[in-house]
Chains A and B, each alone.
Chain A
């Protein structure tokens, strides 16, 4: 398989691409992105294992751990194959890593984790987290996550990420030491609160809307696809009954016997072929799911921008009102209603000393306010700049990946049709011998 040159040719030209091959194509794409991290090491999630242990409330629990392997790039090319460095991590640690990244890089579209619980399942597919097929797909998804982060221009150079890959013990403590949790809590509160931004940035508003649409349409597609897969499974499996009846019938026939019997075998093969077909399709569904969750990450960035914008507006608003207060105090006119104004009217005017003190305080506050506005403005600008860069990067990645996914879907359909043609041609030959 060609991994030099354009990966597109490798995908389109070879219609017999298997899921693992197209996975490799994706990996190669990310490697070729050439972040310094990926230039240095190979990353993989090689295995999954079940463990039992005591949890936080001292109860027995079973959970799965995943083996992260890292290998220096040079070693591979040198021909030697040293034992890779490896460590075990469980899903909750991946979640912790991601939350850290979300808080620390609010302007980045942070790659999503594979789903926590199996959703969009069709009947044969298990919704059980312990099911080996689910675990396997999750392993692949986690590896994908790590590679996505490792190929991201900003995230890949993060030290916490690096130690996640390399330091088994004490990593959790290191993460908590960054104090990101506090930030996370306040951010979370702010994001969940409803607030209205006076001057929303049009681009971000559009992006958020797009994120909503993407999430909605991919959910719908996954639902419809799962139902269709269920039905297709039924169609194929019922043909297995042909196999059984043909076989029984052939026992009572003389001339027709052989033809019927062998036709029956082909019907059995046809019925069995659906398992592989649907397994491949599940891989396609996983690719769609990744972007379903990416949509969420995109919307999160837009929300954070709104928050930043909002905070700026609040600071600006606050500054304006303070300036107004100063003016009122200085000129003695009360243009705006204030409780202080009312009470002073009721209880008598302030003394000039009091007024002087107030003015001084206001001046300080206004100075601070102006600083704050400047800060927040700079934050906002910085955020917009960085976020927009990453959004553009994300858009390109999404267009590329989804187009590849559609192509691989077409390849799958073609493979399914070819199998069908073969089986029915074989069956036809057997029927002719009846």
Chain B
């Protein structure tokens, strides 16, 4: 049986096909239309002939299973054959609205791409569209989240520099996650997103939901049909329980980190007044003037380091945690799917494989984010240490130079 994990962006023009209550036959029919020889082909993703990535081809479920095999080499940077960057935000003003576009640059050696370099401009709406398409086409798989449409805190307006930069980074991560995903990266929608001119993209978007979403609907219909009849397998329940718990933990971490940033900023505000106070004092003194000025300088330096450390937390750890808060939300919403698993055996396998893959990616991402933060904190303390040690050094030299100015 096949469900709509097939990357198929062609609509055959059939708008709505009535879905009978028992669609198993229909599904199998579709199967028969497939190129059955695909079963015997080696369908590892490193195909050199472009045939298996033909836009209108529907690969069979079994071959999809093979594609789902978690292959280490896919993740290896050496075999990475597509590089996507999102940068260069620009503001566009029309009569109706103002919006931001981002430059999306693609460099690839994949043969299904007509060229090796592409540059297009996309706006947030376009990313949303792409995500929607991928979710429709692969309802059982985990699509990486997009940054939020609106800013939750409500204090930053859309065109604020920091907001745009944060969004840009998140969009960049989003596309790269898609590019690294064994299934998503061969999506036709993805390819069009990366390569089409704006006119072409618009017309492509206009095409109806197509075969895929109907497949998605099919899955949901099956789900509805068997709801409550079957027992969930333990694995799926475990997964959903994990998703719930994970969501809680990652949200907590996000909140804790934000709180740390707030406290650090307030600490910084107070610390900023210390240096000038020492400097003020030095103006009333003679012998003490030099060490006091020195201390003032040290405190000011530590302020600078603190400022940079806070910035780093804000720019690196917080976005990653936030990403995974959104991921966790995605995970939690897959509750409907479990009912279908019995009927859609390979979908379950695909789901499991994707789940395993997601867990590995999550682990890598969070581990490196925390390591990065720890390293940055070490560096912060090392720099402050150096500042104060140089002060001590200067005082030591002074004492020796003056030949024990003080008593004794």
Binding site for B on A (CB under 8 A): 6-8, 12, 15, 29, 32-33, 210, 213-214, 217-218, 220-221, 224-225, 227-228, 230-232, 234-235, 238-239, 241-242, 245, 248-249, 252, 255-256, 259, 263, 396-400, 402-403, 406-407, 409-411, 413-414, 417-418, 420-421, 424-425, 427-428, 431-432, 434
Contacts and interface: CB of A to CB of B under 8 A. Distances in A.
Given A33-B407, A213-B284, A434 B366 contact: yes
B363 to A, nearest CB: 6
Interface of B: 242, 245-246, 249, 252-253, 256, 259-260, 263-264, 266-267, 269-271, 273-274, 277-278, 280-281, 284-285, 287-288, 291-292, 295, 298, 302, 363, 366-367, 370-371, 374-375, 377-378, 380-382, 384-385, 388-389, 391-392, 395-396, 399, 404, 406-408
Contacts of A213: 284
A29 B407 CA distance: 8
Given A6-B404, A228-B271, A245 B381 contact: no
B253 to A, nearest CB: 6
A418 B292 contact: no
A230 B263 CA distance: 10
Contacts of B270: 224, 227-228, 230-231
Nearest to A433: B367
Given A228-B270, A406-B295, 13 more contacts: A6-B408, A8-B399, A214-B284, A221-B277, A234-B267, A238-B259, A245-B252, A245-B256, A399-B285, A414-B392, A420-B378, A420-B380, A420-B381
Contacts of A399: 285, 287-288, 406
A414 B245 CA distance: 40
Given A15-B392, A238-B259, A421 B381 contact: yes
Contacts of B388: 410, 413-414, 417
Given A242-B253, A245-B249, A420-B381, A210 B371 contact: no
A248 B252 CA distance: 10
Contacts of B269: 231
Contacts of A409: 295
B405 to A, nearest CB: 8
A250 to B, nearest CB: 9
Contacts of B389: 414
A255 B264 CA distance: 32
Given A231-B266, A231-B267, A417 B371 contact: no
A12 B392 contact: yes
**Looking at chain B's contact residues, is the secondary structure mostly helix, strand, loop, or mixed?**
helix
Contacts of B292: 406
A35 to B, nearest CB: 13
Contacts of A411: 392
Given A32-B407, A217-B281, A434-B370, A407 B392 contact: yes
B245 A12 contact: no
A414 to B, nearest CB: 5
B291 A403 contact: yes
The residue among A218, A397, A410, A420 with the most chain B CB atoms within 10 A of its own CB is A410
A239 B260 contact: yes
A232 B274 contact: no
Contacts of A238: 256, 259-260, 263
Given A234-B263, A235-B260, A434-B370, A224 B274 contact: yes
A15 B389 CA distance: 9
A249 B284 CA distance: 55
Contact of B406 (A241, A400, A427): A400
A210 B288 contact: no
17 contacts: A213-B284, A217-B284, A221-B274, A224-B273, A227-B270, A228-B270, A235-B267, A238-B259, A249-B246, A396-B406, A400-B407, A403-B395, A428-B371, A431-B371, A431-B374, A432-B367, A434-B367
Contacts of B395: 12, 403, 406-407, 410
Contacts of A228: 267, 270-271, 274
A398 B278 CA distance: 16
A245 B391 contact: no
Contacts of A420: 377-378, 380-381
A231 B273 CA distance: 13
A311 B247 CA distance: 81
A406 B270 CA distance: 19
A432 B407 contact: no
A295 B270 CA distance: 25
